[in-house]
Copies of this chain bind each other. A is one copy, B any other.
Amino acid sequence: MGEFDLIARYFQRPTSRAVLGIGDDCALLQPATGMQLAISSDMLVEGRHFFADVDPSTLGHKALAVNLSDLAACGAQPLAFTLALALPRADEAWLAAFSRGLFALADEHGCELVGGDTTQGPLNICITVFGEVPHGQALLRSGARAGDDVYVSGTLGDARLALEALRGNITLPPGWMAAARIRLEQPSPRVALGMALRGVASAAIDISDGLIGDLGHILRAAQVGARIDTAIAVDLLAGDVDGRVAQGVFHHEARLACVLAGGDDYELAFTAPVSARAAVEAAALEARTPVTCIGNIESAPGLRLMDAAGQRVSGNFASFDHFA
């Protein structure tokens, strides 16, 4: 199977929103009047971002999901994406499953594949995604102000537990493992929440490298600090049933480490003024995505982790850095 057959068979589909899709030197997009184009690009490498034996359909899902998560963090509506793919060989079963997982998520978000590249090489997946956001309404990292509440969406840390379980370092109860593995391999980008938070959140970021690391970007961008209530945060681990199983399986510090620095969560961390609390609740309802207030922004730089007694929590919760 040649390069062009491969594209035609597994990736070329009619486009409805793009002016021109796969098949020419360029794709053509026509953003609606008054819209800005939000762009993000992520590269996934075997052994670094996924195991060699991962189900290719979940890999197709995840490769797009991590990009959609960046659009979500900006409050952008997904529009289209390009896919560049290096493959050791043209494996038809792999391609069929990969493209099935990819397009299932793409269709869910009305996001069209409009172009890309295929080549032979060590497995590498690079997706660049395009979304629309009304002029001036993109959520940025830089808008946090002292006094703002700090929120996170959904749950945190379970993807890291699934990763450690797959590495053989821990064992999770079966029901929990199944759910945690979905969090790791098929994360749900919080696109609806990001769009609902336009004009409500003062700053936002998606949590891909761990809460502490990614929240740190928000703090540095605005030169502010934050106080985080770890007694609330620790319960963000989904666990089996409302975290009750989690409490029985792992001690407090292990659960907290997963929540604060697990990585691969693809939830949103965001800030909003206290006056917007009702609006945040309404946005969460509209997006059918739970959000939890875990602390607040302070003018003094730095991140302060507090326990239930109001004491500083010590401990080194390092973030994930690809070159550290």
Sort A-B residue pairs by CB-CB distance and give the 6 closest, nearest first.
Answer: A45-B121, A126-B126, A25-B73, A43-B84, A26-B38, A122-B122
A37 touches B43 (CB 8 A): no
Contacts of A183 in B (CB 8 A): none
In A1-60, the 8 Å CB interface with B consists of 1-4, 6, 19-20, 23-31, 33, 36-49
Q: Please give the distance in Å from A3's CB to the nearest CB on chain B.
A: 5
A27 touches B31 (CB 8 A): no
B33 touches A37 (CB 8 A): no
B41 touches A85 (CB 8 A): no
Q: Please give the distance in Å from A290's CB to the nearest CB on chain B.
A: 21
Q: Please give the distance in Å from A196's CB to the nearest CB on chain B.
A: 16
Q: A84-B126, A120-B323, A128-B82 are in contact. Are A138 and B26 (CB under 8 A)?
A: yes
Compute how far the CA of A219 lies from the CA of B193 in the bound complex, rounded to whole angstroms.
Answer: 47
B39 touches A114 (CB 8 A): yes
- CB within 8 A of A39: which of B115, B140, B205? B115
Contact mask for chain A residues 52-79; partner B; CB cutoff 8 A; 1 contact, 0 none:
0000000000000000001101101000
Compute how far the CA of A46 lies from the CA of B121 in the bound complex, rounded to whole angstroms.
Answer: 8
Total identical chains:
2
A117 touches B42 (CB 8 A): yes
B119 touches A45 (CB 8 A): yes
Q: Please give the distance in Å from A190's CB to the nearest CB on chain B.
A: 12
A24 touches B140 (CB 8 A): yes
A96 within 8 Å of B by Cβ?
Answer: no
In A195-217, the 8 Å CB interface with B consists of 204-206
- CB within 8 A of A25: which of B47, B74, B135? B74
A324 within 8 Å of B by Cβ?
Answer: yes
A133 within 8 Å of B by Cβ?
Answer: yes
Compute how far the CA of A130 lies from the CA of B324 in the bound complex, rounded to whole angstroms.
Answer: 32
A residues near B (Cβ < 8 Å) are: 1-4, 6, 19-20, 23-31, 33, 36-49, 70-71, 73-74, 76, 82-86, 90, 114-122, 124, 126, 128, 130-131, 133, 135, 138, 140-142, 204-206, 221, 321-324
What is the chain B residue whose CB lies nearest that of A41?
A: B82
What is the chain B residue whose CB lies nearest that of A320?
A: B3
Can you list 17 residue pairs at the A/B interface with Cβ under 8 Å?
A2-B323, A3-B321, A3-B323, A24-B142, A26-B39, A26-B74, A26-B76, A26-B131, A27-B39, A28-B36, A31-B37, A41-B84, A43-B86, A45-B120, A45-B121, A46-B121, A122-B122
Compute how far the CA of A42 lies from the CA of B31 in the bound complex, rounded to whole angstroms.
Answer: 23
Contacts of A324 in B (CB 8 A): 2-3
Contacts of A39 in B (CB 8 A): 26-29, 82, 114-115, 128, 130
Compute how far the CA of A6 lies from the CA of B324 in the bound complex, rounded to whole angstroms.
Answer: 11
